[in-house]
Copies of this chain bind each other. A is one copy, B any other.
Amino acid sequence: MTRHDPASVPVPVVPSRVGDSAQCVALGQIIDRVADKWAVMTIGNLSTGSLRFNELMRRIPGVSHRMLTLTLRGLQRDGIVDRTAFATVPPRVDYALTELGKSLIEPLGALARWAESKQDQVLAARANYDTRMNP
């Protein structure tokens, strides 16, 4: 029966101040927003420069009008995306990453690269698990 001594264990990946659950909750909220599928794809596409709404829509396969709107609102609210509207007709709105948003490119890119490079292993494990549980 391994009795873990809190002082002996290395720093966990998630810097969990276990005693401060509010801290963890806040972290969870941010991770939820930032690691959302649509958010990842949106940020990924904006990482190379600003784009208009429909350009984003065309580049993100499967995203609905509504979800892209909501995602952009959330990212804008969190200071990750900057929205610039031009009072032209037809209207034109540019979305771009803020400095805060740009600082997300690296960690999010690492995650995306992981997903890409390990995709085969994950899918294989998934298929294997499924056949073993449902032969």
By a beta-carbon cutoff of 8 Å, the part of chain A in contact with chain B is 2, 4, 9-16, 18, 21, 24-28, 30-32, 34-37, 40-41, 43-45, 47-51, 55, 59-62, 76-80, 100, 103-116, 118-119, 121-126, 128-130
Contacts and interface: CB of A to CB of B under 8 A. Distances in A.
Contact of A78 (B11, B77, B100, B125): B125
Contacts of A107: 107, 110-111, 113-114
B114 A25 contact: no
Given A21-B61, A31-B40, A106-B110, A15 B130 contact: no
Contact of A61 (B25, B40, B80, B113): B25
Given A21-B62, A111-B107, A111-B111, A79 B126 contact: yes
A35 B126 contact: no
Given A12-B48, A45-B14, A77-B129, A112 B55 contact: no
A13 B43 contact: yes
A31 B115 contact: yes
Contacts of A49: 2, 4, 9
A90 to B, nearest CB: 11
